[in-house]
Structure 1
Amino acid sequence: MKQKNIMTASFEKSLNLSDDNFIKYMIEDTKERKIFNGKSKIGVTLISIFLIGILYVLAIFSTKGIETPFKDSPVPQPTINFLPIWLFGILLIVWFAFWGYSSSKSYLNEKMFANFFNAHNFLIWIVIEANLLFLTFFLKSLTIIGIIILFGYTILISKKQSLEKQLFNIKSETNKVDNTMHKIIHYMLKYGWLIILLWIVWKFIFPNTDGARTDMMGFIGIVAMWIAIDIGFIVLEAYLFLPYLLYGYYRYKYPEEYRDWEGKTQIEWYGEKYFNKHIKGTEKEEKIND
């Protein structure tokens, strides 16, 4: 028997995803955010241009670090540039290709997922560049990357298995890793604001603690931040982004089934512009009996 995976579920099985609490949270959250619901196109454009500029600066910074050593740096001068400017250009083209494809294929009720998909790809681009930049300057810390990869593999495989069980109603022993991460995410979503508040209070009381350090403690702090960012991204990817995008994928794969399930007309589901261009006058158009 061919092994089932998370991309091959039937419409009926895909409905099991609608019971996932994290997916429900993401749907409600993205509905309210103008960056995803399409109500702030100018703002999204300006943010995108600004972030692309930042990513370009990172590539320049990495190149400069090879050509000119930084004064008082706690690490040896790097010899291999893992983030050349040409790589930035390739990543930019890839992002635009995904953006163009998803924008042209999405309809009204899929726009929110498509917008999140593009933002998600932007986040991946940022993480890739950040890691390549760190790798350029901290090449001798390669063992850290191994730890991150191992941790990430464990988390992602655990969540993939959890989604397969949810989609196909597979009964099995409790996944301890998955349950533990669910609890952590729930606490992060519930008490994350408290951490931010404590940080603000700390900066108010000790305003002079933000100076950059170039000694060994500064080195350790940067490496620790690198690990924390990567692990945080892996957890968010596995428990928030992946399930949400998977649900969007099935809504795109079974549009008519989900439309009927939600009780919407084709114009309400696809939007008038998409309906007139792709549905009206074709065999996909729903015939209404008089």
Structure 2
Amino acid sequence: MKKNIFNAKFEDSLNLHDDAIISFALNNFLKEVETEEKMALRGTLKSTIWVIILAIICVFGLNLLPAFLSDLIFRSGSFNDFLVPPATNFMTYKLYYIFAIVWLGVVFLGKLLNQRFILGYRGHFHIFVTDILWFLIEVNLFFITFIFPTLGKLNAILFSALNVFIFILLFYFRYQSIKKCLYGDAEKESKSVRVLGEGLQFLKKYGGFIIFILAFTSFFLRNRTMELSDNITFLSFLVLFLALNSIVAVFEIYLIFPYLLTGYYKLKYPEEYRNWEGKTKTEFYGNSYLKKHKELTENE
């Protein structure tokens, strides 16, 4: 069976804990939420009220902002003085409601995983993955609404390609580093992987720069009548757009993805990890889970 980062054996999966970035996440994220004090609060009325309040403010409130601003600016035409007026608002309240329903659906589905050892991962998945990606999609739709008409079709395609390119590049190199962490030198790269890696190394150095130059040269040649201050403002929007996507991509791919991968392996090898951590079944699974799965305590 060909090795990948999702089918490692238990012994190999332990190597993930040697990765400095994953170790940082485990020590600063997981241990923080798995303290006895915080675990004891789970399911209580006080905890439920706080979760609802924080969700309203930090999840639904923050993610409402792009829809609110997009609708306000689209109707008022605030950017029309130096940007081509958009014909369509891509970040609508209707789309926000759809995202909100999807997020709630993922939260309720997550409750099917109620083992004590996975609760911290589950909460972080809802915060660091579904919530942040929801917000990122909304922000991108906001920028697409107001920036892309001025950028033009070809430049918009090139700029989108630059964003996708950065994501693929980051994911490829992080995937390879995780794979090396899991298997070490035992997993030899195939010729196709080496060629792809060499190609991405070249693109890492020059690809983004080439796309950047093509897009902005084309744009500025096409918009020579724009004021210098307008060009600078527009360029600032583009840099902000690219920077936001890149920062979130680095955060998700280099920190959160491998951190959650350790949770995946705990689900895959629960008893092995319980013994490795030296915990009792009650400490590892929790009383509520053991009551529903009596087969785990039958041999005790």
Q: TM-score, normalised by structure 1?
A: 0.76
Deviations 1:7-48, CA, capped at 9 Å, x for gaps: 222222211112111111001111465699666654443232
Alpha carbons of structure 1 residues 161 and 286: separation in structure 2 relative to 1, 3 Å:
farther
Question: Is 1:287 the equivalent of 2:296?
Answer: no
Bigger Cα displacement from structure 2, 150-159 vs 26-35: 26-35
Bigger Cα displacement from structure 2, 44-53 vs 93-102: 44-53
Q: Which has the higher helix share?
A: 2
Secondary structure of 2:134's aligned partner: helix
- Shift of the alpha carbon at 1:70? 1.5
Amino acid at match of 2:293: I
Q: In structure 2, what is the equivalent of residue 119 of structure 1?
A: 127
* 1:266 and 1:286 in contact (8 A); partners too: no
Question: Is 1:24 the equivalent of 2:23?
Answer: yes
Correspondence list, 1:240-279, <5 A: 240-276=255-291, 278-279=292-293
Secondary structure of 2:78's aligned partner: coil
Q: RMSD between aligned alpha carbons?
A: 2.9
Q: In structure 2, what is the equivalent of residue 201 of structure 1?
A: none
Q: In structure 1, what is the equivalent of residue 90 of structure 2?
A: 82
Alpha carbons of structure 1 residues 257 and 286: separation in structure 2 relative to 1, 3 Å:
farther
Segments ≥4 residues shifted beyond 6 Å: 173-178
Q: In structure 2, what is the equivalent of residue 8 of structure 1?
A: 7
Measure, in 2, the Cα distance between the counterparts of 1:156 and 1:42.
37
Amino acid at match of 1:160: Y
- Shift of the alpha carbon at 1:80? 2.3
Report sequence identity in percent. Answer: 30
User: Could you list the runs of 5+ residues in structure 1 that have no partner in the other structure?
Assistant: 182-213
* 2:70 and 2:89 in contact (8 A); partners too: yes
- Shift of the alpha carbon at 1:71? 5.6
Q: In structure 1, what is the equivalent of residue 56 of structure 2?
A: 49
Amino acid at match of 1:279: H
Deviations 1:200-222, CA, capped at 9 Å, x for gaps: xxxxxxxxxxxxxx843332222
Measure, in 1, the Cα distance between the counterparts of 2:53 and 2:86.
34
Measure, in 1, the Cα distance between the counterparts of 2:75 and 2:274.
57
Of the three residues 137, 152, 157, the one matched with 2:146 is 137
Deviations 1:126-177, CA, capped at 9 Å, x for gaps: 1111111111111125222211111110110111122222223345589898
* 2:34 and 2:120 in contact (8 A); partners too: no
Secondary structure of 1:105's aligned partner: coil
Secondary structure of 2:112's aligned partner: helix
Correspondence list, 1:218-229, <5 A: 218-229=233-244
